[in-house]
Amino acid sequence: MLRRDRQVRMQIHQLMDACLFAVSFWVAYTCRTSPAVIEFLAPVVTLQPHEQPFNDIAWLLVILIPAAPLILEAQGFYERPLLGSRWTTAWQLSKGCVLTSVVLIIALFLARTQIARWIPVWFAMTSFVLVFAKEEILRQIFRSDLARARMQRRFVLVGTPEGTARMRKQLRAPALEGLEILAELDLTEDSSDKLREYLHNYGVNGVIVSAKHSYFEHVESVIRACELEGVEAWLVADFFSTQISRTTFDDFFGRPVLVFRTTPEASWQSVLKQVIDFVGALVLLVLTGPLLLLIALLIRLTSPGPVLFRQLRSGLNGRPFTIYKFRTMVTDAEQRKHELESMNEMTGPVFKMTNDPRITPLGRFLRKYSLDELPQLVNVLKGEMSLVGPRPLPVDEVKRFNDFAHRRRLSVKPGLTCLWQISGRNEVKDFKDWVRLDLEYIDNWSLWLDLKILWRTIPVVLTGAGAK
The answer, yes or no, to whether residue 110 has pLDDT greater than 80, is yes
pLDDT tens-digit map of 13-47: 899 999 999 999 888 888 766 655 555 555 545 55
Q: Average pLDDT in the 86-91 region?
A: 89
Q: Which one is predicted more confidently, 281 or 38?
A: 281
Which pLDDT does position 180 carry in this prediction? 76
Q: Which domains does the chain have, with CATH numbers?
A: 3-145 (no CATH), 152-239 (3.40.50.720), 268-463 (no CATH)
Predicted confidence at residue 150, as pLDDT, reads 60
What are the tens digits of pLDDT across the range 239-276?
666 666 677 776 666 666 667 777 777 777 888 898 89
Q: Who wins on pLDDT, 44 or 314?
A: 314
Listed ranges 130-139, 143-152, 167-176; the one with the highest mean pLDDT: 130-139
> pLDDT value at position 8?
74
Lowest mean pLDDT of 141-155, 159-173, 379-393, name the range: 141-155
Q: How far is CA 119 from CA 69, 163, 370, 436, in A?
A: 20, 57, 39, 44
Compute CA distances 370 → 67, 305, 361, 375, 462, whole Å.
31, 20, 14, 11, 9
pLDDT tens, residue by residue, 353-366:
777 778 888 988 99
- Work out whether strand 246-252 and strand 255-261 pair parallel, antiparallel, or are unpaired: antiparallel
Q: Are 172 and 147 in contact (CB under 8 A)?
A: no
CA 58 to chain centre: 29
pLDDT for residue 241 = 62
Q: How confident is residue 322, by pLDDT bands cut at 50, 70 and 90?
A: very high
pLDDT of residue 256: 66
Residue 75, CB half-sphere, CA atoms under 13 Å: how many?
A: 20
CA 299, 304, 307, 312 torsion-angle sign:
negative
Quick one: average pLDDT of 432-441?
Answer: 86
Mean pLDDT of 68-74: 90
Is the pLDDT at 285 greater than 90? The verdict is yes
**pLDDT confidence of residue 251:** 66
Q: Which of 10-19, 171-180, 296-305, 416-425 has the lowest mean pLDDT?
A: 171-180
Percent of the chain with pLDDT over 70: 79
Q: Is the pLDDT of residue 466 over 60?
A: no
Report pLDDT for 132. 93
Decide: 377 and 284 in contact? Cβ < 8 Å.
yes
More confident residue, 102 or 247: 102
d(CA 47, CA 45): 6
Reported confidence tier of residue 428, pLDDT bands at 50, 70, 90: low
Other CB atoms within a 10 A radius of the CB of residue 47 amount to: 17
Which residues are bridge partners to 451 per DSSP? none
Band the pLDDT of 129: cuts 50, 70, 90.
very high
**Predicted local distance difference test score (pLDDT) of residue 240:** 63
pLDDT of residue 148: 62
Distance CA 336, CA 344 (A): 13
Among 153, 140, 163, smallest CA distance to 231 is for 153
- Per-residue pLDDT, 236: 76
List alpha helices for 112-191, DSSP H: 118-143, 145-151, 161-170
pLDDT at position 271 is: 83
What pLDDT shows up at residue 453? 92
Checking if the pLDDT of 341 tops 80, the result is: no
Q: Is the pLDDT of residue 283 over 90?
A: yes
Task: State the average pLDDT for the chain.
Answer: 80
Q: Are 459 and 377 in contact (CB under 8 A)?
A: no
